[in-house]
Amino acid sequence: MKTFCGRANPTTGALEWVEESEEYDYHQEIARSCYADMLHDHDRNEKYYQGIRAAVARVKARGEKVVILDIGTGTGLLSMMAVTAGADFCYAVEVFKPMAEAAQRIVEKNGFSDKIKIINKHSTDVTVGPDGDMQMKANVLITELFDTELIGEGALPSYEHAHQNLVQDGCEAVPHRATVYAQLVESELLWSWAQLQLEVEGRLSGSAACLWVAVPRAHSVCDIQLSQVSPNSFTPLGPLCTMFRVDFICAQSSGRAQVVLSWWDLDMDPSGSIVCTMAPSWTYPQPKMGPVSYKTQCHDALIQAAVAPSLMLRCVVVEGPLDAECVLPACGEQVTEGEELSLTVCHDDYSLWYSLRSPPSRPCCTCQAHLVWTRPRFGELNDRQRTESYVSALRSVLREDSVCLSVSDGSLLPVFARMLGAKKVLLTRQRSWLSRQKLIDRKSLGQISVLMGEPYFSTSLLPWHSLFFWYCRTALAGLLRPSAAILPCSATLHMVAVEFQDLWRIRAPCGTCEGFDVTPMDEMVQQSLDFRESREAEPHPLWEYPCRALTQSTAIMTFDFTQCVPQQPISSLGLLIGCCHGVALWMEYHLTNDITVSAGLIGPISEQGDCEWSRHRKQGVYFFRSPWESSGDGRAAVSYSFTFEPSSGDIKMDFSIESQ
């Protein structure tokens, strides 16, 4: 059965009716579920296995049969571990139907169908009794319900319901408890992601003008990989503090904070001898290996999926309540060294927040800016070097009689242009105006002397979605003076072949995991990836995922904004040589002939292939189905083909291995 879905094309801005199969959402969820990176995480799996074996042994030592309740079973891996460890029976609960079906096939393939029952329900809907989903209450509870905020996936309500309805009093739990840590720091980098501070000086002529903007702070949770935040970019203002512990037998909490780096650990057993730590790599005694040998492998999809322990961390920039349970000597915002600060952490069922004042009420945004701008967007607007590039470009094209039109979402370019002396500045009110064919004030026909954009649009995901600016420029052709300046005047799509440290795991087949056959999961994911005729690039913030460049940056195609969008496709062909997992793609915007702003690589590639990526935009990543490697004599290579389709605004890409 086919259905038609209306959507705004992120590149052209046009309203489209797209024919989709009723199975489209199903396959998209499967392809994006990203269980592979968790299955490839040997250290995480081993810690769970050790905890499960210990829990099963304790129950057997009491002379009891071992009945497992596995909430959020995913592939069924932890349930199979439990049965292998000696459990008598396991109830494996999975709410996502495709995943539950995959788990059923995996359990059957490994010969555990007589001891593992897959229940396709939310755990809070599971019942116990002769006619219920479970015949008896469990005495071992196994869960994997955690995200970067620990409790953001609803772990606490699930635990509460399970303890009240599904498990015996005094049951064993794996993991047994979690500990949340926090550290107060001073960091211009982290602070720039939470509030806006700008300063622009000077006019084209006459007296100087100064603009300074400060947006009030608000509760802002930033899910980032702190291992990729250099210790040189922050100054600790106090010691690492244990904020509180959540005991999964009986949940409790208390704690404190101001500008905080936060992470957590999982104790897999009551004694705390089996620990899975989320600590960033710079806290480890040895690089990339923690005190419990937890390797740094992670992916931001874990925030939305059935989350496994990972190194995804949260940076919280908040002001708020004060309490007196944890006292830190600190120096920072309006405090001096040696001053005592009480840090308080609070939580509800789904989130944490820190504060430095009482009462510890939940903070909320009152400036509205945090409803419009994302954390990377705040960082982009606070990037002084980037701002200077735009201001310099504006100075080069502005005149005292300039009439400017800005096409960008939430941009400060109109403010800059006015402060620099432009006669008049117009701006579009909403992105949908193009699809409705509503032009700006028709009195401005032929009067616009400067069309400017960053370009930035809130609906853009992939780098080339910002080509919406080009379609706007084409639609606005009648408003522009013949000599109008277009800023940026062009953009170039760049590509580099890369070898990822960890990100490749999200697309890598698992085969076997800890001795269990999980190929049905691989088959299901592959079918979902094949559901569409052509594969697509995905958006990822590459600064958080270390990779090594195996080729030099290649300019694939250039888009000339001084001209209208062409009628014919633009194509590019070429070769890549090296060993890689995929290619990274990004746009560079040429504001003028000599001023360029990159949304990807922001520095040269080192001799070792090290890359420095922009923190403000996500780059496109095209994953190869399997890593390829050239032969020693360099006779093997990957050919690429890119085609920009003006009618749809899409960039189609294809890669194939060929001999030289």
297 touches 40 (CB < 8 A): yes
Helices 97-109 and 77-84 sit at what angle, rounded to 10 degrees? 30
β-strands 516-517, 403-406 pairing: unpaired
Q: Rounded to 10 degrees, what is the CA torsion of 630, 632, 634, 639?
A: -10
At 245, list the tokens: 């512990």
At 5, list the tokens: 């879905």
List C-alpha distances in Å: 639 to 368, 481, 495, 540, 582: 48, 43, 13, 23, 12
Residue whose entry in the numeric block shows the structure tokens 């009891």: 64
Nearest alpha carbon to residue 577 among 492, 493, 659: 659
List C-alpha distances in Å: 429 to 411, 433, 453, 536: 11, 8, 14, 31
DSSP 352: E
Residue type, 231: P
Helices 24-32 and 519-529 sit at what angle, rounded to 10 degrees? 130
357 touches 321 (CB < 8 A): yes
Give the whole-angstrom CA distance, residue 534 versus residue 528: 12
Rg (CA), the chain: 27
Give the whole-angstrom CA distance, residue 80 versus residue 521: 15
159 touches 143 (CB < 8 A): yes
Q: What angle do CA 334, 336, 340 make, to 5 degrees?
A: 100
Distance, C-alpha 135 to centroid of its chain: 40
Out of 19, 20, 108, 144, pick the active-site residue.
Answer: 144
Nearest alpha carbon to residue 235 among 148, 313, 353, 330: 330
β-strands 403-406, 352-355 pairing: unpaired
353 touches 262 (CB < 8 A): no
Residue whose entry in the numeric block shows the structure tokens 């003076």: 481
Q: Does residue 463 have a cis peptide bond before it, meaning omega lies within 30 degrees of 0?
A: no
Q: What angle do CA 398, 400, 403 make, to 5 degrees?
A: 65
Burial class, 338, CB count within 10 angstroms (exposed 0-12 / middle 13-18 / buried 19+): exposed
153 is an active site residue:
yes
The H or E element that residue 47 is part of is helix 42-61
Evaluated on CA atoms 265, 349, 116, 524, the torsion sign reads negative
At 239, list the tokens: 């010691």
22 is an active site residue:
no
Out of 153, 380, 454, 588, pick the active-site residue.
Answer: 153
Nearest alpha carbon to residue 180 among 391, 13, 33, 347: 347
Other Cβ atoms less than 10 A from the Cβ of 168: the count is 16
- Residues marked active site are found at 144, 153
